[in-house]
Structure 1
Amino acid sequence: MNKLQPRLRKLFKRIELLQLLRYTASLIAALLSGLFLFTNATLGTIASSIIDVGLDPLRSQLIAALIMTALVALIGALIGRRKAATILGAALVFCLGYLKGFINLERQPVYDPGGHLEPLQANALFNTSLIMLALALLSAFIGSAVGVATGESVIDPPLHTLQRGFMLLWRRWEVRRLRQRGAFDIDEAATQPGLFARTNLGRSLSQWAGAIAIILILVFALRSGDLFIFSPDVGLHAAPHITASKSGDKNAEKSIGVSSIKQDYVKSKALGATKPFEVYLPPSYNTPQGKIKHYPVLYLLHGSPGKDIDWLTGGKAGQSTDTLITTGKIPELILVMPDGNGKPGRTSEWGDSYNKKQPIEKYITTDLVDYVDQHYRTIPDPSQRAIGGLSMGGFGAANIAIHHPDIFGTFISLGGYYYAEGSVWGSDPTYRLDNSPAYTILSTPRARKLHIYLGAATKDQPYYNDTLGFMKQLDKLKIPYHFDLQKGYHSWGIWATQMYNALGWLKWD
């Protein structure tokens, strides 16, 4: 037995060397494949394909980088079969190929639509970078798992056959040679615990470390929702530092105090449910001077999928309103941002469903408007009440305003469409037309007096063409409107800019 142990130790060293070589092969394969795949041409091609689906460049580039990270990990794991080394290599590639460029981009000066500098929040950038790194590690883990599984299913069987044959020949030759030198019990020697203790301990520790790492990665990755819903740069820049004295408008009314945002709830008789909504109250609202003042109201409708807080998070509606009020460019107003989600799995289109089970439009025009007028110091008149939205919310704003010009005197539609879409309208073509702004404005004379603001983006299809078609209808009817065209896609960056412009355009009679 004493003669066998040194040989077994020598064999283990060879195995350890082989394992090290496989780790190295996995790492090098990941790095080399990343060097080849993370090029501007390859990454740009994938990002362009995602943009064609309807996403903006920033989100498309992040998704493309994560896809490439998974592919890099797959290649590394396929060659070396070592997940840890593959994940490490893929993460390094992601950091150098995408994250570094993203950080450098965000460190450049950013200005709001009015030309005011939005300071970078270093902590927010650090947190976003950690979330992105967690997403990259998760993508690498998935890619490496697929690579290992593919290798074990396709490549390993023939290799294992050759390996078994080689090991069998080696064992027979080694046993024969050792027995010629002296008798011993190979099985007893091979099962001595001291030969395997170090290997088993290291394997156990690595497994626990891997489990803890995956849990931490998932914790960070679960915080990535806003990066995909809004944009990777959401929340990275703070509101501009502006004081009223810098506005340059000495005649503008100076607000005392600060604005506030609160969540409120209304019991809807139309829906038979309690619905939440967000409220922006202007700076003077809670001051002694503002206690006797009443304010116009702008209702903002989110898109699909979406929720009531989207206009504050992605659209910077509160920030833009603060800036414009402080600089004296607009009078103070109240913003109301309702939740327009219908039953789970179905969008509401901000309309009354054909089956009458989901009357969202009725909820907005009766329950919500009445509640806001009763509980907040509003000016309850159509000339002092506007409604706006983006995408589905843009459609909803136009549809509701044209149906109810006695409630809303203005509508703002950004990236919207003007013919009813979706299953919520049922199969009755007449009902669909009755909920299509491009059609109903023809038969609603009072709606022709609405103040209309339309926004579109040059690469936002089909919504750009939908807006052009609606504009042609308005031109034929000689209905005035304001058109805001921006270069870009169906994205929050465009809508935030257009809402800033629309707030400055609003004229309260």
Structure 2
Amino acid sequence: MKQLARLLLLICLVQTARAADVDTVSIHSQKMRRAYKCVVIKPASYKSGTQRYPVVYLLHGAGGNFANWVTNVPVIKELADTYQCMIVCPDGAVTSWYFDSPVDSSMRFETYVSKEIPAYIDQHYQTLPEPAHRAIAGLSMGGHGALFLAIRHQDVFGAAGSMSGGVDFRPFPKNWDLKKRLGEPGTDGANWYDYTVIKQVDSLKPGALSIIVDCGVKDFFIDVNRDLHKKLLLAGINHDYTERPGEHNWQYWANAVKYQLLFFQQFFNK
């Protein structure tokens, strides 16, 4: 029994030694004149030398915050080790939708997440600071944010992923503080169209981004994701698209993120 106890202790020590490190940092926004917290996950190998790593930015959904991913899906720490990448989880201020609001100057999250945060991460961590080694993904509001930002900032991100993404929010005019961020939607959401992922596809050229999209078949965003898939096909934009059993919940996202990170690893290794 003593030998077994020693063996179990040794295994625990080895696993602990290999565990990814999690930092919580505060990143100031010059545009918004305030700071928000951000989780930074480093693979265990990070501390052992001067190796530089690709980075995956992972966005939370409406009502969430910077700690959601590491709290609700702790396996992402192991995935950072498995795929030898850093994972950065910014704060999206509950319902920013990750764009620069045209009606609220205190909401400049397109600038913050696409410019200010990557600049901070590249300055303070051992990153590979090129689009070929930088990806962005997210769930729900964060799925919208990831695709919206990647399409508009291809000089920053080379790959993007959406899980249960709100890629066209016009069918939901009363939800998630959208009127506070964009003003009145207008007829059939015409005033909001320019801020949707569906609209951004018009400016996307084949081969410009590596894209992965997935959504549960019982998710309330399934129809807008199917519309996005069809539009990407018609535009000749290569992408991975998956529907699988699931709803709009953490059980689905905890599974989906594994496929997204595998997709990004393949992108980084090209």
**TM-score bracket, shorter-length normalisation:** 0.7 to 0.9
Q: Give, in angstroms, the shift of residue 319 of structure 1.
A: 3.9
Deviations 1:138-184 (A, max 9, x none): xxxxxxxxxxxxxxxxxxxxxxxxxxxxxxxxxxxxxxxxxxxxxxx
Aligned: 1:348 with 2:106? no
CA distance in 1, matches of 2:185, 2:62: 23
1:304 paired to 2:65: no
- Partner residue, 1:425: 182
Shift of 1:434: 2.1
2:217 maps to 1:449: no
Matched, 1:485 2:205: no
CA distance in 1, matches of 2:255, 2:234: 29
8 Å Cα contact 2:163/2:213 also seen in 1: yes
Q: What is the DSSP-based 3-state SS (H/G/I as helix, E as strand, rest coil) of the residue aligned with 1:285?
A: helix
Matches within 5 A, 1:319-338: 319-322=77-80, 325=82, 330=83, 332-338=84-90
Please tell me whether residue 276 in structure 1 is matched to residue 37 in structure 2: yes
Closer, same or farther in 2 for the Cα pair 1:281/1:313, shift >3 Å? same
Note the 1:117-156 alignment, pairs <5 A.
none
Which residue does the alignment assign to 2:8?
A: none
Task: Indicate how the Cα distance of structure 1 residues 303 and 465 shifts in structure 2: closer, same or farther if over 3 A, else same.
Answer: same
Identity of aligned residues (%): 29
Deviations along 1:95-120, one digit per CA (max 9) or x if unpaired, are xxxxxxxxxxxxxxxxxxxxxxxxxx
- Counterpart AA for 1:337: C
- The aligned counterpart of 2:46 is 285
- Contact 1:349 1:392 survives alignment (8 Å): yes
- Which AA in structure 1 matches 2:212? Y
Deviation readout 1:390-445 (Å, 9 max, x if unpaired): 00000111111111111111111000122245111123766622211111211243
Q: Deviations over 1:449-501 (max 9, x none)?
A: 2111111111112x111111100000001111112322121111111111011
Alignment of 1:158-197 (within 5 A): none
Q: 1:448 to 1:432 in 2, by over 3 A?
A: farther
State the shift of 1:283 in Å. Answer: 1.0
Query: Structure 1 CA distance, aligned partners of 2:61 and 2:76?
Result: 17
Q: Distance in 1 between matches of 2:237 and 2:53?
A: 27
- 1:400 equivalent to 2:149? Answer yes
Instruction: Structure 1: give runs of 5+ residues left out of the alignment.
Output: 1-240, 245-255
Per-residue deviation, residues 299-327 of structure 1 (Å, max 9, x unmatched)? 010001101111112233524515x61xx
Counterpart-to-counterpart distance in 2, 1:375 and 1:283? 17
Deviation digits for residues 302-357 of structure 1 (CA, Å, limit 9, x no counterpart): 001101111112233524515x61xxxx3x00000011116xxxx21111111233
CA distance in 2, matches of 1:459, 1:419: 17
Task: Map 1:461-472; keep pairs closer than 5 Å.
Answer: 461=220, 463-472=221-230
The reply on whether 1:358 has 2:117 as its aligned counterpart is no
In 2, Cα distance between equivalents of 1:364 and 1:474: 24
Larger Rg: 1
Q: Post-superposition, which runs of at least 4 consecutive aligned residues in structure 1 deviate over 4 A?
A: 428-431
Question: Does the 8 A contact of 2:20 with 2:77 survive in 1?
Answer: no
Q: Following the alignment from structure 2 to structure 1, what is the Cα–Cα distance between the partners of residues 200 and 19?
A: 41
Aligned to 1:437: 197
Q: In the alignment, which residue of structure 2 is the partner of 1:259?
A: 20
Cα contact 2:19–2:77 (8 A) shared by 1: no
- Secondary structure in 2 matching 1:266: strand
Contact kept in structure 1, 2:43 and 2:77, CA below 8 Å: no
Secondary structure, aligned partner of 1:468? helix
Gaps of 5+ in 2: 1-11, 171-177
How large is the RMSD of aligned CA atoms in angstroms?
2.1
Question: Is the 8 Å Cα contact of residues 433 and 440 (structure 1) preserved in structure 2?
Answer: no
Over 3 Å counting, the alpha-carbon distance change for 1:431 and 1:264 in structure 2 is: farther
